[in-house]
Amino acid sequence: MNHLQLVYAPHPIFKQKALPIDKVDDEIRVLIDKMLKTLYVEGAVGIGANMVGLLKRIAVVDLQEDGVRNPRVFINPKITWYSEEKQTFKESSVCFLGIEAEVTRPRAIGMSYLDYDGNNQELEAEGFLATVIQHEVDYLDGKVFLDHLSKLRRDTLMKKMEKYIKMHPPHIHGAHCHH
């Protein structure tokens, strides 16, 4: 299998902090390649390593605008600044099935990270890309998009998700898959 299995909520890994990567080597690049494959198989725009059961500070993002793949790899991402201006997008997750919620976040961010080759990089992002990056970095920090909501709203959505999963159990990839 050249991609990774998603972890589905509720799961304790979503409350855990991912650990920094000491050295970007071939082993880490193989993991990144598998995370990207998972992102495409699942039709996601971003995946933090916690989502595939790994407590490593790695996130992959590809908005696939106009159907064009443009993968971005963020190792040890650190958001260095947030804009005062906010924006709201409907957020969901391939690990939280059947639910979505409007989440308000800073409209623009600055970040530092290591790239696929282990080089130091900086990025300024705004709009949807900024939201996706914040969403994935939250995963690495032991937070999920539901943590931005009131307890009542979060509990309501978790109940809705549990009902959804009973009706539509997640697809567990295996030997008989055609992905």
CA distance 75 to 21: 7
- Predicted confidence at residue 173, as pLDDT, reads 63
Q: Tokens 């989502």, residue? A: 51
| Domain boundaries, position 114 | 12-167
- Residues catalogued as catalytic: 136
What are the pLDDT digits (tens) for 56-65? 999 999 999 9
Can you give the pLDDT at residue 170? 85
Angle at 170 between CA 165 and CA 174, to 5 degrees: 160
pLDDT digits (tens, 9 = 90+) for 63-84: 999 999 999 999 999 999 999 9
Q: Is residue 5 part of a domain?
A: no
Judge whether 1 lies within some domain.
no
Q: What is the pLDDT of residues 99-112, one digit of tens each?
A: 999 999 999 999 99
Encoded tokens for 115? 């790239």
72-82/58-61 β-pairing: antiparallel
Q: What is the per-residue pLDDT for 174?
A: 63
The enclosing domain of 74 has a CATH number of 3.90.45.10
Please indicate, yes or no, if residue 7 is contained in any of the structural domains: no
**Residues ≥6 apart with Cβ < 8 Å to 21:** 28, 56, 57, 58, 75, 76, 114
The confidence score (pLDDT) of residue 2 equals 83
Is residue 126 one of the residues assigned to a domain?
A: yes
**Looking at the 3D structure of the chain, how many domains does it have?**
1
pLDDT at 3: 86
Residue 144 Ramachandran class (φ > 0 left, ψ -120 to 50 alpha, else beta): beta
Give every residue of the chain whose pLDDT is below 70, as ranges: 1, 172-179
